[in-house]
A and B are shown apart, each in its own frame.
Chain A
Amino acid sequence: MTSQSRRSPLHDRHVAAGAKFAEFGGWDMPLEYAGGGVIAEHTAVREAAGLFDVSHLGKVEVRGPGAAEFVNRCLTNDLGRIEPGKAQYTLCCDESGGVVDDLIAYLYGDERVFLIPNAANTAEVARRLSAAAPEGVTIEDEHENYAVLAVQGPNSTEVLTALGLPTDHEYMSFAEAKLGDATLIVCRTGYTGEHGYELVVPSADAVAVWDALVAAGEPFGLRPAGLGARDTLRTEMGYPLHGHELSLDITPNEARTGWAVGWKKPEFWGRAALVAEKEAGPGRRLWGLEATGRGIPRADQVVMSGDDAVGIVTSGTFSPTRKVGIALALLDTSTGLDEGAEVEVDVRGRRVAMTVVKPPFVRPSVK
């Protein structure tokens, strides 16, 4: 970690909990906690509940007359598909169709959209929106003004209910709530594949909300979970992580995130390139790989079919749920490789046998 790394308002709580830290997008964040570890924390989220600090995620306010219409002309997904009070997964592309970032857009109304980009890309997303914004629409980077806490797992509803927080709103919708003196947003979102909530909390209230969740969660098996477990959980779901499955060099067509593109919209950044690529068919496509042999694939390793290099691993890890090595990989479409195909990954000079599968590796239960 460097001296420039930014810290969450919950940093002291993580230190007290014996966390190991790692740098995520310029932020010094907890990787795992003492007495836990990636596997115990991962399992808690699948079977009980986990509490994540994801305050490194960006927060960008877009406000003013026509704010929602403006965002809809820039980002890929169609805000017209959702009502105010709902959130949507969307992409910020460049004109070549590459992905600047993937983000969540909270639609408040015609004049307000709240965006949650990735930590490392927040400034760039805000910059691109600011450069394009019409008169009267303001873009504010509020990165350090809010903490984001995620409560994820089958017991997450019980934990929030114990604190009197709202839980019965639909998947991908949000509600404002009070906890003590804090006003927070409770959103039915997450990135683990489990039923869960993400709370957007003013930074000054973060410690009080964290402490309340830890105390209320104790009878329900809630434990703090680090970003190590968040990565194994999202990889089991096949969810993309920017910088791995999505990047300026990887398009939504390749990454199978075309469902987050409003193809019928007349305008969004990258539209012409993406429509052309969709019609021609992308040169490579994202697949899951599940090890049949022993070994753990890792990002940037080469996927082999016989003597031919047929793709590249974008993320790889050990699946704590399946107890095998799993990977997400971009495979060249010209090879015709499909579900069930047998391939190998070159793991530091050793070939590990893998089967091509369609993610998720573990059944999601987000609703």
Chain B
Amino acid sequence: MIPAELRYTAEHEWVGDTDTASVRVGITHFAQNQLGDIVYVQLPEVGAAITAGDAIGEVESTKSVSDIFAPLAGTVTAVNTALVDAPETINESPYGDGWLFEIEPADVADVAALLDAAGYEKLTGE
């Protein structure tokens, strides 16, 4: 359930490479399962400059709301607007069509500094 090619944060987000200079960000299978049915998503604006650890959005289920934190410093280059009308995609495909946004990192080395799959697995006890 934890894809080996991705990097992870302690806030249960994943970071993966794209074909461009940006990295793609989403929440993990563990996170979506903890939240339950996701019914609302608030995403950052394209072009926003973000600092690692900033709360830059929200994912809300029938019962609770969770902040989305910036996993890295950089600039938001894309957001998954399809989620606005179909937030349940995050439950159905957290590592695929349920991605949240893309960031061009201020420092590419920050990506490698995140948790690898084994480190994240240890964190969740999955």
Rounded to whole angstroms, the CA-CA distance of A317 and B36 in the bound complex is 13
Known contacts A31-B63, A298-B65; decide if A39 and B37 are in contact (CB<8 Å). yes
Interface check A367, CB cutoff 8 A: no
Most buried by B among A37, A228, A317: A37
Contact present for A228 and B62 (CB under 8 Å): yes
Q: For residue B40, which residue of chain A has the nearest CB?
A: A296
Q: A294's closest neighbor in chain B, by CB?
A: B40
Q: Is the CB of A317 within 8 A of B62?
A: yes
Are A228 and B65 within 8 A (Cβ)?
no
A32 and B36 contact, CB distance less than 8 A: yes
* Cβ-closest chain B residue relative to A317: B62
Query: Count of A residues near B, CB < 8 Å?
Result: 20
B103 interface residue per 8 A CB criterion? no
Which residues of the other chain, A, contact B65 by a CB distance below 8 angstroms?
296, 298, 348
A40 CA to B63 CA, complexed, in Å:
14
B72 contacts partner chain A, Cβ-Cβ < 8 Å:
no
Contact yes or no, B39 A296, CB < 8 A: yes
Q: Is the interface of A mostly helix, strand, loop or mixed?
A: mixed
A37 contact set on B, CB distance < 8 A = 36-37, 91
A34 to chain B, nearest CB (A): 9
How many angstroms from the CA of A37 to the CA of B61 in the assembled complex? 10
Q: Which residues of B contact A295 (CB under 8 A)?
A: 40
The distance in angstroms between the C-alpha atoms of A320 and B40, with both chains bound, is 12
Interface 1/0s, chain B 29-61, versus A by CB < 8 A? 000000011011010000000000000001011
Inter-chain contact B63/A38, CB cutoff 8 Å: yes
Judge if A210 is at the interface, Cβ distance under 8 Å.
no
State whether B40 touches A39 (Cβ < 8 A): no
Asked if B36 and A318 sit within 8 Å, CB to CB, the answer is no
Q: How far, in whole Å, are A296 and B38 apart by their CA atoms in the complex?
A: 12
Partner of A296, one of B36, B60, B84, B91: B60
Query: What's the minimum C-beta distance from A173 to chain B, rounded to whole angstroms?
Result: 33
Closest chain A CB from B20 CB (angstroms): 29
Using CB atoms, name the residue of chain B closest to A39.
B37
Interface 1/0 per residue, A291-320 and B, CB below 8 Å: 000111010000000000000000001101
Asked if residues B63 and A320 are in contact (CB atoms below 8 Å), the reply is no
Q: Does A118 contact B (CB under 8 A)?
A: no
Is A232 among interface residues, defined by CB-CB distance under 8 A? yes
Complex Cα spacing A320 to B58, Å: 19
Q: With a CB–CB cut-off of 8 A, which chain B residues contact A294?
A: 40, 84
Among B39, B58, B84, point to the contact of A318 (Cβ < 8 A): B39
Q: Are A38 and B62 interface neighbours, CB within 8 A?
A: yes
Q: Which residues of B contact A20 (CB under 8 A)?
A: 36
Q: List 30 A-B contacts (CB under 8 A).
A: A20-B36, A31-B36, A32-B36, A37-B36, A37-B37, A37-B91, A38-B36, A38-B61, A38-B62, A38-B63, A39-B37, A39-B62, A40-B37, A228-B62, A231-B63, A232-B62, A294-B40, A295-B40, A296-B39, A296-B40, A296-B65, A298-B65, A317-B63, A318-B40, A318-B60, A318-B62, A320-B62, A325-B40, A348-B65, A350-B42
Q: With contacts A228-B62, A318-B40 known, what are 16 further pairs, Cβ within 8 A? A: A32-B36, A39-B62, A40-B37, A231-B63, A294-B40, A294-B84, A296-B39, A296-B40, A296-B60, A296-B65, A298-B65, A318-B39, A318-B60, A318-B62, A325-B40, A348-B65
Task: List A residues at the B interface (Cβ < 8 Å).
Answer: 20, 31-32, 37-40, 228, 231-232, 294-296, 298, 317-318, 320, 325, 348, 350
Q: Which 10 A-B pairs have the closest CB atoms?
A: A318-B39, A38-B62, A39-B37, A37-B37, A38-B37, A318-B62, A296-B40, A228-B63, A296-B60, A37-B36
